[in-house]
Amino acid sequence: MANSKYEYVKLFEDDDEVMLPNLIVVRVVALDFRRFSEVHGFVKPNDEKALELMNCCAMATMEMFSDVIFSYGFNDEYSFVFKKTSKFYQRRASKLYSLVVSFFTSVYITKWQDVFLQKNLRYAPSFRAHVVRCASIEVLQVYLAWRQQFCHISNLDNTCFWKLVECGKTDREAQDFLKVTEKKEKHELLFQKFNINYANLSAIFRQGSCILTTKVEDIVKYHEDGTPVKRLRRKATVIHSPNIAGRKFWNEHSILLKELGAFATDVDKINPDYVRSFQVEKTLMPCTWVVIRIDGCHFHRFSEVHAFEKPNDEHALNLMNSCAVAVMEKLPDLVFSYGVSDEYSFVLKRYSQIYGRTASGMVSAIVSLFSSLYVMKWREFFPHKELKYPPSFDGRAVCYPSDEVLRDYLAWRQVDCHINNQYNTCFWELVKSGKSKSEAQACLKGTQTQEKELLLHSRFNISYNELPLMFRQGSSAFWDKKDATTGDKNPDACCERKIVVVHSNIIERSFWEDHPWILDKEAWILDKEAWIRDKAAWLF
């Protein structure tokens, strides 16, 4: 990070480490999947291809993140269990769930056409995720039993519901009918009225899918004489079991015993206190500005593999900007965003209650949607480049207590943009001139701003201050206000809301004075009053 007077804002970042000996589970759940499945014509009550796609995404995720030992999924969700000794990203919860949900989402888009050959993806799907902390192997056992029990119950209900709808009942009538029926009665209903033996339905519907990884030998190349060269690699396998929380299943797989531990007994009854703990998510401090910052994961390699132009690829930056605008359009509680290189910071309304103001809800939903859009929009900005592998982003949520601190955070990011871009411009010009990367680094070590400007001008005839503003100042996206008739900026006139992207100096106060509606105090008051009313209603 660049050194500047604004770096103090890093003190507001929270350490969200999942402390040992907690076992880590990352649970990923689709957002508004009912609408998504209707728009894309999924078969009811279960679409085998849709479940196959979810399994493909889970397998790819486990092969990508070697610390994930086991996963279990059904319908629109998946739970990923990390080995007990995992040090993955220093066990920071935000890193864990944001990377998993981002990669899972990217794979979902890239594999869509492989699974649904005749269906176009109509819009960008998204998922949310959070970390479940399991204090012991016994708690993990209860968690897995809870999820598989929910799979059994929900699938039985859905099977009955859709059969009743098919035979002429309305949605409401089917729901009311099932409210007063017990499990046994539902089985009898399916058998007697629809000639369906529930136990004979596919295991993937009734039991869900669990995935384990094993090491297998794979041929990576051949010697000149034709003999194969083999290497061990991780391979994910899908299994269907009626009781994944049982000792019998667990003891059959040595990797589970080794990396997670053994179950002492079988689960007879699920403790409701445990279930409540699985659903707890951290809420952010009220009445503060929340910034969700996302960063590309290993984007140095990603940019090299995809041959991005150095030091700046205009198409790649415009793709990032386009994704940011689309995220803001989807989530109108976002009032401002600032991006540079492979990162973007999204600012939420001060009194926003989106996703219950939970850090995991906000971060995972935004990073997932951004990842989804990045893959879907790739062809628009790189029509002649194939996306070689799914990108991923990590994210975090930070609360800032005042306008001044929020502006200082954004100033910190823009100062960082300037310093890094100037260094990278010098570095890549030196490399293009014939120096090695290590020689270029040595040449620039200890140089100041003026020295770098002189180097660019004297050796490469480049005036740094004449380079495109997007490279030097980054991109700011926000809801602009314009007179619907004249097009002149006038916050008090009849407004037509739209998002604009500008490349401006956001460090100076003049930017905020020219765009007062971004941090509109009158809007705060309305939001605050609504927030107080909601809290009062909750209390009384």
Q: Last residue of a domain, which of 148, 167, 184?
A: 148
CATH number at residue 79: 3.30.70.3000
Q: Last residue of a domain, which of 125, 148, 171?
A: 148
Say how many domains are in the chain: 2
- The reply to whether 501 falls in a domain is yes
Q: Where on the phi/psi map is residue 434: left (φ > 0), alpha (ψ -120 to 50), or beta?
A: left
- CA 263 from chain centre, in angstroms, equals 32
Q: Report the alpha-carbon distance of residue 365 to residue 357 in Å, rounded.
A: 12
Q: What is the dihedral of CA 65, 68, 72, 77, to 10 degrees?
A: -50
Q: Report the alpha-carbon distance of residue 158 to residue 310 in Å, rounded.
A: 53
Q: Report the alpha-carbon distance of residue 356 to residue 351 in Å, rounded.
A: 11
- The reply to whether 85 falls in a domain is yes
Give every CB contact of residue 260 below 8 A, 6+ residues apart in sequence: 23, 69, 70, 81, 83, 84, 137, 140
- The reply to whether 194 falls in a domain is no
- For the entire predicted model, the pTM comes to 0.91
- The reply to whether 73 falls in a domain is yes
pLDDT tens string, the chain, 540 residues long: the values are 446 789 999 999 988 999 999 999 999 999 999 999 999 999 999 999 999 999 999 999 999 999 999 999 999 999 999 999 999 999 999 999 999 999 999 999 999 999 999 899 999 999 999 999 999 999 999 999 999 999 999 999 999 999 999 999 999 999 999 998 999 999 999 999 999 999 999 999 999 999 998 777 777 677 777 777 777 777 888 999 999 999 999 999 999 999 999 999 999 888 888 888 888 888 999 999 999 999 999 999 999 999 999 999 999 999 999 999 999 999 999 999 999 999 999 999 999 999 999 999 999 999 999 999 999 999 999 999 999 999 999 999 999 999 999 999 999 999 999 999 999 999 999 999 999 999 999 999 988 999 999 999 999 999 999 999 999 999 999 998 754 344 455 544 445 678 999 999 999 999 999 999 998 765 554 455 554 555 454 444
- The reply to whether 203 falls in a domain is no
Give every CB contact of residue 107 below 8 A, 6+ residues apart in sequence: 56, 57, 60, 61, 390
Q: Report the alpha-carbon distance of residue 100 to residue 118 in Å, rounded.
A: 28
Per the structure, the complete domain to which residue 144 belongs is given by 17-148
- The reply to whether 474 falls in a domain is yes
Q: Report the alpha-carbon distance of residue 244 to residue 248 in Å, rounded.
A: 9
Contact of 358 with 283, CB cutoff 8 Å = yes
Cross-strand bridge partners of residue 498: 480
- The reply to whether 36 falls in a domain is yes
Q: Last residue of a domain, which of 148, 173, 198?
A: 148
